[in-house]
Amino acid sequence: MEFAKWVLAPGKWAASRVSSFWDRYVYFVGVREENDSLRASLAEATQELVLLREKAAEAERLARILTIRPPAGWSRQGARVISHRLGPNASLETVLLDKGALDGLEVNTPVTGPDGVIGRILRLSPTAATVLLVTDPNSRIPVTSQKNRTQGIIKGEGANREMVVQYVALGAPLEEGELLVTSGLEEIFPKGLPVARVTEVGRKGPSLFQTVYAEPLFDARRLEEVALLAKSAQEDRVQAEPGHGGVSGQNEPTPDPISHSPSTKVVPPDPSGRAPGLEPPRPASAPGTARKKPPRSSP
């Protein structure tokens, strides 16, 4: 018995070891497969979370665009920014939009954002539009300070630089931190749109104007969606009517009441040979008689 015990015991031990090893192998294979499945699910959930966060951010931006209420007589439509400055040596501060002439856009169409004016359309193609930003040195917009109603012209100075407000008279009230809004004098932007905020007011040299600096209300590098403003058709018809300041009403000729009057009489020719309607020539003044000069207006 003892011999059998010593002979069979190693076999049983080896069998149990092999069985245990196999069980552990099967278990680890199952755990690995489960880990691989969990990793795949985690990657899918992470990707879905990223997409949901992006959609949430886009919805928030679009909601801010929808908060832009166009002034009376103006309509609004949205557009996406598909490109910023074209090339590293771009000479203009511009962005490219995904809408163009086929969408009803025109040159000088105002472009705004949730915080204020962004620029105006500079060039058009059928399906795209180039926007000249207010920070470009070629951009000039008549503005008015919101609190003190001091007027000036705001000019861009390039990327990452403050804007300059020109032609602000000495002594005109203007405060740092005051908001500058469009005055509507150039008839491109509606009146009252925010443009910039005053950062510095002072005077340099013997100038007749104050030196005023302002910062834009948007970051051009973060532009993704914008709003486009356009005059409604009804507003265009009102401006085109005579008497409303339209072009057609300003240059219309006034009908001649004499030539169009049915009661106009034909004047027979004068026996003296003068043309009808002309006054007879005045007799020349005698020599030595001075003519009366018109009174000189006082300065």
Where along the chain do its domains lie? 7-67, 75-231
- Nearest-angstrom CA–CA distance, 118 and 226: 8
* Least confident interval from 56-65, 83-92, 198-207, 280-289: 280-289
Residue 294: predicted pLDDT: 39
Which pLDDT band holds residue 151 (cuts at 50, 70, 90)? very high
What's the average model confidence in pLDDT over 222-234? 86
Residue 44: predicted pLDDT: 92
Which pLDDT band holds residue 260 (cuts at 50, 70, 90)? very low
What's the average model confidence in pLDDT over 249-277? 42
Q: Reply yes or no on whether the pLDDT at 267 is more than 60.
A: no
Which pLDDT band holds residue 253 (cuts at 50, 70, 90)? very low
What is the model's pTM?
0.64
Q: What is the mean pLDDT of the chain?
A: 77
Highest mean pLDDT among 181-195, 265-279, 285-299: 181-195
Residue 234: predicted pLDDT: 59
**Segment 48-68, tens digit of pLDDT:** 999 999 999 888 888 888 888
Residue 100: predicted pLDDT: 93
Q: Reply yes or no on whether the pLDDT at 6 is more than 80.
A: no
Q: Domain 75-231: which topology?
A: Thrombin, subunit H (2.40.10)
Residue 245: predicted pLDDT: 46
Contacts of 95 (CB under 8 A, 6+ apart): 81, 83, 84, 85, 119, 130, 131, 133, 220, 223
Highest mean pLDDT among 67-76, 145-154, 201-210, 252-261: 145-154
**Segment 106-117, tens digit of pLDDT:** 999 999 999 999
Which one has a higher pLDDT value, 3 or 85? 85
What's the average model confidence in pLDDT over 60-81? 88
Dihedral (Cα; 195, 196, 198, 199), 10-degree rounding: -170
130 forms bridges with which residues in the sheet? 96, 123
Residue 233: predicted pLDDT: 65
As a whole-number percent, the residues of the chain with pLDDT over 90 amount to 44
